[in-house]
Structure 1
Amino acid sequence: MLTATYALVALSVEQASVRLNLLAFQQYVRTTLMQQNSVTMAQLEYACNSLNTLYQACQWRKTERYLIPALRAATERADQLLDELNRLNQSALAAVRALQEQAEALADAGEGQVQRISDNIETFCTAMLQKLEKEEHELFALARNSIAGDAWFSIANQLMLHDKRVEELKRSAPPAALPDAAAINMPRLQVLPMIDMNLVQDDTISTMPRLRARAERELPAPK
């Protein structure tokens, strides 16, 4: 089961990176936007872009692209859990669309609309964090016990090819045009590979060894 352990460690590291992004944005909204009496159109557009970026990052995760399809093919015991994960994903997507509708309809948001904006962002972050939690504590355990050894080799190979492709895209992608974060009083988010916003911060790289070590400690011992 060494291959399964390798794959699950890699997936846990990715989960931790996504979680950091979600928590950072959720905390920002709670401590800044929710304290304001109004939200400018620039802030609302930036919030929409941030939620869309975070949602895309969650969809591009290796868990979504490789582990879940392999688990669905391996056993029907995962169907109920996968349905629950899909419901959380649909809740998050509905929040993204609701925020986009607000951005299209409003020039400036008043105080009552600040609450609606904050509620949509909170709904999104809560749903995605719950999805990550269920994946780590339920999906990974079910996958370890249900997916056969040969399938784990295939998954591990897909993970390596995925990383290689990400690196190639990062090298070939032109620098993205960044919004003036200082002008609209919003922080830059850490952004995962495959997303069309080049805002990766140096501290993300420095934290990866610690995240990997944490993932290795938290993973159950192979049977």
Structure 2
Amino acid sequence: MLTATYVLLTLSIEQKKERHFIARMLNYVQSIARRPQEIDPVHIQSQLQELITFAETRHQRKVEACLLPAIKAADANSAALVKDLETLSRIGRAMLNAVNKCLRRAMRRSASHGKFLCRTIDLYCQNLLTRLDKEEQELLPLAQKVISSEEWFEIGSQFLEQEDHAAGQDDTPAARPPVAAYTGFYSPA
């Protein structure tokens, strides 16, 4: 059960960090939305990159690749929850594509595009928060009930491998994958 505690604690800590990134992004876009002529698309792109790198890669590596398959295998009744989470992820990726289209338009310094960019980022962040809420309130409690000790050990091992892999990578901005890796948006750096 110690491994289950490690996995759940790791996810909880990462969810809190993700909420912090989301809150910071929402505060910025809500404050700048009132002054669209002052929007700095390069700053937004940087903040968005940080959020995407953390939120999307964490989610894909740990929740989608490790936890969801274990829950699917352990509980046939989890199909609706898994489908809901997969739908939120798919919607989030579509929203992220919309954000990047808006970002390209906002780089032309159009105030109307800037307002739409802020609204689109807000919607993307709200989707992430909904996904986090569903994970916290439904997925993790279900996982605690249905996943066996052996499966928790396997999940914990996968988490440690991923953390070792991530620690071995350089985390400088130049070494991070561009937003295009997630969304098809290319940023001329």
Q: Shorter-chain TM-score: which interval?
A: 0.7 to 0.9
- Read off the aligned partner of 1:11 and give its amino acid letter: L
RMSD: 2.3
Distance in 2 of aligned mates of 1:87 and 1:45? 30
Give the conservation status (yes or no) of the 8 Å contact 2:106–2:117: no
Q: Provide Cα deviations, 1:60-115, integer angstroms capped at 9, x if missing partner.
A: 22223311221122222221112211222222222221122233445534333232
Structure 2 SS opposite 1:108: coil
Give the conservation status (yes or no) of the 8 Å contact 1:48–1:103: yes
Give the conservation status (yes or no) of the 8 Å contact 2:71–2:146: yes
Distance in 2 of aligned mates of 1:132 and 1:77? 20
2:12 aligns to what? 12
TM-fit CA distance, 1:45: 4.2
Higher mean alpha-carbon deviation, 150-159 vs 59-68, is at 59-68
1:180 aligns to what? none
Higher mean alpha-carbon deviation, 47-56 vs 71-80, is at 47-56
Unaligned runs of 5+ residues in structure 2 are 179-189
Structure 1 SS opposite 2:36: coil
Q: State, as a whole percentage, how many aligned pairs show the same letter.
A: 26
Compute the TM-score of the two structures, normalised by the length of structure 2. Answer: 0.80
Higher mean alpha-carbon deviation, 74-83 vs 51-60, is at 51-60
- Read off the aligned partner of 1:14 and give its amino acid letter: E
Structure 2 SS opposite 1:35: coil
Seen in structure 2, the aligned counterparts of structure 1 residues 51 and 77 have a Cα distance that, compared at 3 Å, is farther
Give the conservation status (yes or no) of the 8 Å contact 2:106–2:113: no
1:60 aligns to what? 57
Compute the TM-score of the two structures, normalised by the length of structure 1. Answer: 0.69
Structure with greater proportional helix content: 2
Give the conservation status (yes or no) of the 8 Å contact 1:19–1:129: yes
Structure 2 SS opposite 1:78: helix
How many residues align? The count is 175
Q: Provide Cα deviations, 1:176-205, integer angstroms capped at 9, x if missing partner.
A: 35xxxxxxxxxxxxxxxx9448xxxxxxxx
1:87 and 2:84 correspond: no
Distance in 2 of aligned mates of 1:106 and 1:38? 10
Give the conservation status (yes or no) of the 8 Å contact 1:72–1:79: yes
Higher mean alpha-carbon deviation, 81-90 vs 49-58, is at 49-58
Distance in 1 of aligned mates of 2:84 and 2:107? 36
Distance in 2 of aligned mates of 1:50 and 1:29? 10
In terms of Rg, which structure is larger? 1
Distance in 1 of aligned mates of 2:105 and 2:113? 12
Distance in 1 of aligned mates of 2:73 and 2:52? 25
Structure 1 SS opposite 2:169: helix
